[in-house]
Each structure stands twice: as C-alpha cells, then as structure tokens.
Amino acid sequence: MKSIRIWDIPTRLFHWFLVMAIAGLWYTGTEGDMDRHLPLAYFTLALLLFRLIWGFVGGFYSRFSAFQLSPMNAIRYIRSGLKSDYPGHNPLGSWSVVALLLCVAVQLTTGLFANDSILTEGPLAHYVSSDLSDQMTSWHALNFNILLGLIALHIAAVVFYTVIKRDDILPAMITGKRSVSENMDEPARKNPAYSLIAIAVSASIAWLITQLGY
C-alpha cells in the first residue's frame, strides 16, 4: 500500500464549508433568525453551484465521471462484503453523494420561493402565487427532515468505515490522501485557475439569483 492524494483542496473545502453551512441553516431556521438564514442560504447556493461545476472540471476523483453509479457495481460491492479497492467514492458512497447533493438542491430551490408567513420570503417568492409559495414552504420543511436523515446515514457510514472497516475515509477528507494499492498512480493536479474560475462563476450565478428578488 502507498499514500497518494485523492481529494483536491477545492473538494475538501467544499465539503467542510457545506457542513458548517448546513449546521448554520439548521440553527438559524430553528431560531427564526432570517437575517442570518438567508445569507447562509445564498452562500450554500454558491457552494452547490461550485460543486456542480467542479464535478465536470475538477480533480479526477472529484468528477462525476469517477462516481461508481452502476447498479451492478453496487450489487457486487455489497456481495463482496464491502471489500473493494475504490480510491475515490465506492458505489454506495457515490449514490450517497448524489442523494445529498440532490436533497440540498431541492432545499435551496424550495427556499427561494418560500416564506415565513411574517416578514421574510425567498427572493423568488413574488414570482409565484401565495398558495404555491406556501406549498414550497411546506416542502422546504419536509425536505429538510429528509436531508437530516441522509446526513445521519452519512455520518453513520463514516463511523462504520472508520471504526469497523479501518478505512481512512475521514482523514482523507482532511489531508486529501488515502492509502491505495501500489499499482495506483496519483492523479494529475489541477491548475488553480480552474477552481478560481469555478468560484467566480458560481458566486456570480448565486448573486444574480438573489438579485431577482429586488
């Protein structure tokens, strides 16, 4: 076995910023602190847009093309007792990431049209009827419970792989490095310009969306 860099810096920063953002959204939403909830939501929207872009132009294992989404791969992985050499996301992990990203996307989309029945509403709420905005608000609350469930499963999986399987899945998301077979090569490093452009584009799109409410 040898240690190579699997996760690039932008992917790792996205992961931990998303963790903090979701925690902040949970707290501010529960407390009804919309003055902080909305800016956090816009930041999370920029994060999600960045990850979608990075899924096409990022490091090798960060790209969606590297995800193991074949149902047969998932079946073989389960039948093998979860014993396979996947430097990046294994089949179950790949589906987990897709589910989380989709759930976050639904949460942000519904939030753009939602309202708190008092003073605050999403930047796009005035583009739909009051009834639809109220329905979006209900979906926003329901989907967050689903998101919390997915997060709980994700944390449980990390604990399982770390404690039971003795996998370095958690340290890898901090250092970027994982232990792999000797015959695996480290992927080429991406030009930092790619990440800077992706950040600029995602931040610009998020800003434009928020401006539609004015």
Q: Could you list the mean pLDDT of each consecutive 10-residue stretch along the chain, which spans 214 residues?
A: 91 97 96 93 97 96 94 90 85 95 98 88 92 96 96 95 90 92 86 95 95 77
CB neighbours (10 Å) of residue 194?
A: 16
Helices (H) and strands (E) in the chain, counts: 7, 2
- CATH classification at residue 192: 1.20.950.20
CB neighbours (10 Å) of residue 85?
A: 10
- Please write down the long-range contacts of 82-86, taking CB distance under 8 Å and 24 or more positions apart: 82/165, 85/180, 85/181, 85/184
User: Residue 46 corresponds to which amino acid?
Assistant: A
Distance CA 31, CA 175 (A): 34
pLDDT tens across 183-211, in order? 888 888 889 999 999 999 999 999 999 88
Backbone angles phi, psi at 163, to 5 degrees: -85, -45
The domain in which residue 98 lies consists of 2-211
Strands 177-180 and 2-5: antiparallel
pTM of the model: 0.92
* Maximum pairwise Cα distance, the chain: 60
User: What three-state secondary structure class fits 184?
Assistant: coil
Roughly how many angstroms between the first and final C-alpha of the chain, as a whole number? 56
Q: For residue 168, give every residue at least 6 positions away whose Cβ sits within 8 Å of its Cβ, in sequence order, or none.
A: 162, 178, 179
Q: Scanning the structure block, which residue is given the tokens 């970027």?
A: 176
For 150, 173, 181, the CA distances from 178, given in Å and listed in that order, are: 24, 9, 10
Check: CB of residue 48 under 8 Å from CB of residue 64: no
Q: For residue 118, give every residue at least 6 positions away whose Cβ sits within 8 Å of its Cβ, in sequence order, or none.
A: none
Check: CB of residue 6 under 8 Å from CB of residue 87: yes
Kindly state the percentage of the chain with pLDDT values over 90.
78
Check: CB of residue 186 under 8 Å from CB of residue 97: no
pLDDT tens across 117-128, in order? 878 899 999 999
Tally of domains within the chain: 1
Check: CB of residue 206 under 8 Å from CB of residue 199: no
